[in-house]
Structure 1
Amino acid sequence: MSTDTLAIRAEIEQEIAGLTLPAALARTVETEGERPAYSDKVGIDLSAGYAPGWRTVGWAALRERSLDLAGALIAAGVRPGDRVALMASNRIEHVVADLGAVHAGAVSMSVYNTLSPEQVAYVAGHAEPTVAVLENADHLARWERGLGATDSLRTVVLIDAEPPAGDDRFVGWDAFLTAGAAWRTEHTAELDARIDAIAPDDPLTILYTSGTTGNPKGVVLTHHAVLYECACSLRVAAPTQHNDFISYLPFAHIAERTLGMYIPQVNGAHIHLIADPALLLGALGEVHPTRFFGVPRVWEKIKTGISAKLAAETDPEKRAQVERALAVGLEYVEALQHGGAVSPELEARYRAADAGLLSFLRALLGLDRCEWSASAAAPMPLEVARFFAGLGMRIYDVYGMTETCAAVTSCGPDQFRLGTVGRALPGIEIALADDGEILARGPVVSKGYYRQPEATAALIDADGWVHTGDIGELDEDGFLKVVDRKKEMIITSSGKNIAPSNIENHLKESPIVGHALVFGEGRPYVVAMLTLDAEIASLVATQLGIPTGTSLAELAQHPAMLTVAQQAVDSANERLSRPEQVKAWELLPVEWTAESEELTPTLKLKRRVVHAKYADVLERLYA
């Protein structure tokens, strides 16, 4: 470890010495108590679109509700270290339930809403929660098998659903919270003692990874690890104002949990909770956040929508004006990269382009106030990053995993390079193994997988290095580039090593391509399966003269749409080496979603699932 890394780590360790999340929240309430903490749209009729109006709770009131919930949990028999499972959308009650569990000395577990009943039963049987907090009837149905998978569950709290008759394990949210408030009035000292007994190295949460292969594994994260992550992330992100943030990814996702739950408890912010990601664009237009995080698929969807509208412009002069402005924006952002400098001449041209058009385009997206925008969870296609650079936006790529409390490297205002995921966060070490695997070490590292010592030993070696499973490259300035997943690298029958995500990102640059999977393991050449982006495909179909109302399955077989898909493949192949080029492909008549199991809840491909589900397609492509 370098002297600088050691010194910075010591500084941060001093900042958070002895701190737990309840203590951090209490400090924030002292300074931010009357400021808004969380807002949501629960109970508002959204049938006519993204209606105005929010439920809002301030920081002081949020803590009070959380203490009531903690009291209810303790009265229900929750002991220190017990697990409390949560399945709910992004809403105020989800945050209150999580904080209530933490203040009761328990370990919170947000579970993905999209898990199948079988997967829920596995998690319930493995984690053995004492209490489950569920939002609605759908979640209750998903937990039906889970409720029988363990004897540990004594209480099930239902936020919106009606408690089933004849089973005293079930209780409604309002009744549970009211009982907790009554318990607190008589047991204040007991609750205070429970909070005071929480130690920095105690587990804070267990997050069951979404699992691209096999059963999910429960990642144990401590108060200390999470608070270190918050502190070093804030150093790189360098917020300059009280922030407005939109939370729309599941709280079972470590990035959303860190950005939408943990960091705000440390420094205060106003978080707008979006229950349905489909409402994200409307929320952006209403909130105009100062900070925004999106997985690559979200940025791709935004880019595709803008590109489709720009392409529809029939006035050649207006199109040329937009293209000139985007070119200046890209030149400006590229000059801001590490080691670069913006000349006075470029500064003037950018200010003119920004005042004339770029700021207007960002405002249309709701990103005009955004001082920090980021991407993680999968490689960001370079062309997508360059597109937003054209709008004058730096998308700060971040790299990490649940097992490291989210980020271990990041771009930021003072460390930015396109095509990379930044440099190591303060006090964190990054290295490459002999085979190129990315290794990480530092205070953010998980204690390991819950009740899985063999998997933990495979994750963290004797020297404390986390083996990420990703292949990377480090440049001379310490900027990391992620090549692909180690286990997903393709080795063709001729021995060529190929990174499939690179090819897939080129294919997805076509507006009509929703998802792409490249295959070629042990085969003589590379093939691809493509799916349509339903929204954009319908717009393109109209431009091609295909009748309105044509189904997605019919579009996937239409000659005009197949021609557009072929153009996407040809365009990708022009930028690839010969072994990487796609020799055969098929446009599938379906969409891939988390519900249909081809994607994880964070929209990453489940390659093995796709390989098995579409084995017949792969065979046809090699016929």
Structure 2
Amino acid sequence: MLTRPKLIDPFQMVRMGPLPNCRGMQEVRRNQPDPSHKVCRVNSQPERTIPRLWRDAVSARRTGAAYLAETEPGRWREVSWDEAARTVDELANGLLARGIGKGDAFGIVCRTRLEWTLFDFALALVGGITAPVYPNTTAKEAAYVLQHSEAVGALLEDESQLAKVEPLGLAHVLMLDDLDRLREQGTAYGREHPNALAQASAAVGEEDLYTYIYTSGTTGPPKGCMIRHRNYYAMTSCIERIEDLALDEDVMLLYLPLAHNFGRLMSLWGAYGGFTIAFCPDPYTVVDVLPLVRPTLLPSVPRVYEKAHTAVISKLEGASGLRRRLGDWALRVGRRVSVLRQQGKPLPHALALQHRLADRLVYSKVKERFGGRLRLGISGGAPLPKEIAELFHAFDLLILEGWGLTECTTAAAVNRPRRFRFGTVGPAMPGFEVKTDTEGELLIRSETVFAGYLKDDEATRAVLMDDGWLRSGDVGQIDDDGFVTITDRKKDIIVTAGGKNLAPQNIENSLKTSRYISQGLVIGDRRPYVTALITLDEAEVAKANGDVQTLVQQAVDDVNRELSRFEQVKRFAVVPREFSAEEGEVTPTLKLKRRVIEERFAEEIERLYAP
């Protein structure tokens, strides 16, 4: 088995005591940092920077493929670590040749592709600051990010992205097709200035900014989170401290947008950990790509697992006779095994034999939907309904849910392969502290907490406390074993006209476990009772061949039976289409933008409260 390089654990320093009183450190925490500003160094250990992460990765003599890139539909090309290293060096030298260096913000407007990741590493080597833009964003939103970050240029995937950016008059506009030319320039520059890139990388400090990640703006423009080099280095390092989360031989299918902190972390983790990443630019083709790539790791937003859950439930409920009895038996066996595994107990011999038989006859069919060799699913970016995780585990597929936010550089808690509880987001990450305040809001403290919001000191002060704690904006609980359960976003908690507090997210997750319901938005703030807007899974409704209103009412009744009276959905409206990113109604991780949806469907909502 391939041996990973031994890297210094950044959290060794966390437990050594408080940092020295360094005025520069406070300035980074509270104010917009000067990207070229050097904060005083607190130890002589190697700098925790992305250039160091990349250099360690490509010098580790790994024999497996670094990446898999789709050259045409259904055909994938292996990219070795040596090839990736040469490409990044040539791109980085090319950037230096064009005068792009430390402190320069540079946009990337591109889907999840190999070029995105390699260009990002190249920017990091020269000290640039990546300012990613979601490729499905509007021209207005793209312009905001690039102008607000003061980007000197942008890498664009195609002509549609060029149309958004061209009016801005950026000094450097590169298309993917221009990268070969940039590499040629880099090769020539490297021959003429053989030490330039090493010097540029050496000048990058761990307190310098690595990237701006813009959070989704639901009530105003997005805020630019300033993420330092040490933030992401520490984040990847602490993931590696979780036993069995990744293995050297793993293959990860990555379709998540790299403009989002979850996808970005996966990209960096692949380099740090040494496993292979297969890029999938089109999230709508994931179902088709899974059997081709056959990943062992699948980081995903819950929507993919929800869709797969619907398909599995539909097949189970549509079976009859012997197949139905076989499916029910396998599910009962799987649930018994799941309970024992969650408790960390061994399987009795007879149950183990039944489980192996059920795997051969039933579970393997479900696993084939994910390529046949999926070892772990990782869910984040939005809440995963407990019932979905439980069902897949009963079919011998483990999905680990985690939780975090951009402001703490992605994750703060995650379930472990050998220590997990469905319905929770797991214990705090290694090196993290998580607690609740008097109002139940979850607070986070770690080396990964960001430097603040770009050009927004007031917003920074609202989330960063003087003692280093970060306000998450999420309400939750922490049990005696350290497992964190998220109740809802603090700002989304509904207070009914009767003064009752309820968490809409929990009800919405329960509604989505019905095979007929695609999405649900719960309403009830300052209202006499709770209502919901429902979108349908049209394919499942068509199979049922029944009255839509009756099907949805049955699903709502099933959910209501598990709720307190004041939480129950009294009325609902079926809306004619799904809430979508194109309409600005969901975030890139498919979380609902409540205020946008409520404004758009205001008439339907008011009818639900009409006498």
* Structure-to-structure mapping, 1:37-76, within 5 angstroms: 37-42=66-71, 44=72, 46=73, 51=74, 53-76=75-98
Is the Cα–Cα contact under 8 Å of residues 16 and 228 in structure 1 kept in the other structure? no
d(CA) in 2 for partners of 1:520, 1:15: 56
d(CA) in 1 for partners of 2:493, 2:325: 40
Distance 1:7 1:75, change over 3 A: closer
d(CA) in 2 for partners of 1:506, 1:27: 45
Instruction: Establish whether residue 270 from structure 1 lines up as the match of residue 287 from structure 2.
Output: no
Aligned residue for 1:390?
A: 394
Instruction: Establish whether residue 185 from structure 1 lines up as the match of residue 191 from structure 2.
Output: yes
| One-letter amino acid of the structure 1 residue matched with residue 49 of structure 2 | T
Is the Cα–Cα contact under 8 Å of residues 333 and 393 in structure 1 kept in the other structure? no
Instruction: Establish whether residue 354 from structure 1 lines up as the match of residue 385 from structure 2.
Output: no
- More moved, 524-533 vs 173-182: 173-182
Equivalent of 2:302, from 296, 299, 307? Answer: 296
The unaligned stretches of length 5 or more in structure 1 are 161-171, 545-558
Aligned residue for 2:433?
A: 429
Cα deviation, residue 543, structure 1: 4.3
d(CA) in 2 for partners of 1:142, 1:486: 35
Aligned residue for 1:225?
A: 231
Is the Cα–Cα contact under 8 Å of residues 600 and 606 in structure 1 kept in the other structure? yes
Aligned residue for 2:332?
A: 327
Is the Cα–Cα contact under 8 Å of residues 398 and 411 in structure 1 kept in the other structure? yes
Distance 1:442 1:17, change over 3 A: farther
In structure 1, the residue corresponding to 2:515 is in which secondary structure? coil
In structure 1, the residue corresponding to 2:534 is in which secondary structure? strand
Cα deviation, residue 34, structure 1: 4.9
Aligned residue for 1:600?
A: 587
| One-letter amino acid of the structure 1 residue matched with residue 277 of structure 2 | I
Is the Cα–Cα contact under 8 Å of residues 445 and 469 in structure 2 kept in the other structure? yes
d(CA) in 1 for partners of 2:60, 2:378: 27
Cα deviation, residue 340, structure 1: 5.0
d(CA) in 2 for partners of 1:183, 1:338: 59
Equivalent of 2:504, from 482, 487, 500? Answer: 500
d(CA) in 2 for partners of 1:268, 1:386: 30
d(CA) in 2 for partners of 1:16, 1:364: 46
Distance 1:561 1:15, change over 3 A: farther
Instruction: Establish whether residue 18 from structure 1 lines up as the match of residue 18 from structure 2.
Output: no
Cα deviation, residue 512, structure 1: 2.2
d(CA) in 2 for partners of 1:15, 1:57: 35
The unaligned stretches of length 5 or more in structure 2 are 1-9, 18-41
Instruction: Establish whether residue 463 from structure 1 lines up as the match of residue 464 from structure 2.
Output: no
Distance 1:574 1:144, change over 3 A: farther
| One-letter amino acid of the structure 2 residue matched with residue 380 of structure 1 | L
Distance 1:307 1:11, change over 3 A: farther
d(CA) in 1 for partners of 2:147, 2:529: 43
Cα deviation, residue 347, structure 1: 3.2
| One-letter amino acid of the structure 2 residue matched with residue 159 of structure 1 | L
Cα deviation, residue 542, structure 1: 4.3
Aligned residue for 2:36?
A: none
Aligned residue for 2:552?
A: 565
In structure 2, the residue corresponding to 1:201 is in which secondary structure? coil
Is the Cα–Cα contact under 8 Å of residues 585 and 596 in structure 2 kept in the other structure? yes
Cα deviation, residue 15, structure 1: 12
| One-letter amino acid of the structure 2 residue matched with residue 26 of structure 1 | R
Per-residue deviation, residues 544-592 of structure 1 (Å, max 9, x unmatched): 1xxxxxxxxxxxxxx7222212222111112211111111111111122
Is the Cα–Cα contact under 8 Å of residues 430 and 438 in structure 1 kept in the other structure? yes
| One-letter amino acid of the structure 1 residue matched with residue 368 of structure 2 | A
Per-residue deviation, residues 179-237 of structure 1 (Å, max 9, x unmatched): 22222221221111001111112111111112333211111112211111111112125
Distance 1:472 1:583, change over 3 A: same
Per-residue deviation, residues 302-352 of structure 1 (Å, max 9, x unmatched): 111222223322x32211211211222122122222565544444343233
Cα deviation, residue 282, structure 1: 1.6
Aligned residue for 1:280?
A: 286
In structure 2, the residue corresponding to 1:423 is in which secondary structure? coil
In structure 2, the residue corresponding to 1:56 is in which secondary structure? strand
| One-letter amino acid of the structure 2 residue matched with residue 254 of structure 1 | N
| One-letter amino acid of the structure 1 residue matched with residue 211 of structure 2 | T
Is the Cα–Cα contact under 8 Å of residues 541 and 561 in structure 1 kept in the other structure? no
In structure 1, the residue corresponding to 2:573 is in which secondary structure? strand
Is the Cα–Cα contact under 8 Å of residues 114 and 601 in structure 1 kept in the other structure? no
Aligned residue for 2:418?
A: 414
Cα deviation, residue 11, structure 1: 8.8
Per-residue deviation, residues 221-260 of structure 1 (Å, max 9, x unmatched): 122111111111121252333210001010011111111x
Aligned residue for 1:105?
A: 127
Aligned residue for 1:168?
A: none
d(CA) in 2 for partners of 1:464, 1:339: 36
Distance 1:263 1:444, change over 3 A: same
Is the Cα–Cα contact under 8 Å of residues 236 and 414 in structure 1 kept in the other structure? no
| One-letter amino acid of the structure 2 residue matched with residue 157 of structure 1 | L
Per-residue deviation, residues 59-101 of structure 1 (Å, max 9, x unmatched): 1211211111112222222130111110111112111211111
| One-letter amino acid of the structure 1 residue matched with residue 539 of structure 2 | S
* Structure-to-structure mapping, 1:104-503, within 5 angstroms: 104-145=126-167, 147=168, 153-160=170-177, 172-238=178-244, 239-259=246-266, 261-313=267-319, 315-338=320-343, 340=345, 342-366=347-371, 368-503=372-507
In structure 2, the residue corresponding to 1:434 is in which secondary structure? coil
In structure 2, the residue corresponding to 1:354 is in which secondary structure? helix
Cα deviation, residue 269, structure 1: 1.5
Root-mean-square deviation (CA), in Å?
2.2
Is the Cα–Cα contact under 8 Å of residues 297 and 374 in structure 2 kept in the other structure? yes
d(CA) in 1 for partners of 2:49, 2:569: 52
Cα deviation, residue 109, structure 1: 1.9
Distance 1:355 1:396, change over 3 A: same
d(CA) in 2 for partners of 1:77, 1:344: 67
In structure 2, the residue corresponding to 1:380 is in which secondary structure? coil
Is the Cα–Cα contact under 8 Å of residues 257 and 263 in structure 2 kept in the other structure? yes
d(CA) in 2 for partners of 1:362, 1:6: 37
* Structure-to-structure mapping, 1:507-586, within 5 angstroms: 507-533=511-537, 537-544=538-545, 560-586=547-573
d(CA) in 1 for partners of 2:474, 2:590: 18
Cα deviation, residue 410, structure 1: 0.9
d(CA) in 2 for partners of 1:14, 1:532: 57
- More moved, 419-428 vs 480-489: 419-428
d(CA) in 1 for partners of 2:214, 2:45: 26
Is the Cα–Cα contact under 8 Å of residues 8 and 427 in structure 1 kept in the other structure? no
d(CA) in 2 for partners of 1:450, 1:363: 45
d(CA) in 2 for partners of 1:576, 1:520: 15
| One-letter amino acid of the structure 2 residue matched with residue 89 of structure 1 | R
Per-residue deviation, residues 351-403 of structure 1 (Å, max 9, x unmatched): 3322332134213431x322222111122111111111111122111111111
| One-letter amino acid of the structure 1 residue matched with residue 101 of structure 2 | R
Distance 1:320 1:420, change over 3 A: same
Distance 1:351 1:528, change over 3 A: same
Distance 1:392 1:14, change over 3 A: farther
Is the Cα–Cα contact under 8 Å of residues 54 and 121 in structure 2 kept in the other structure? no
d(CA) in 2 for partners of 1:476, 1:461: 25
Distance 1:431 1:377, change over 3 A: same
Aligned residue for 2:5?
A: none
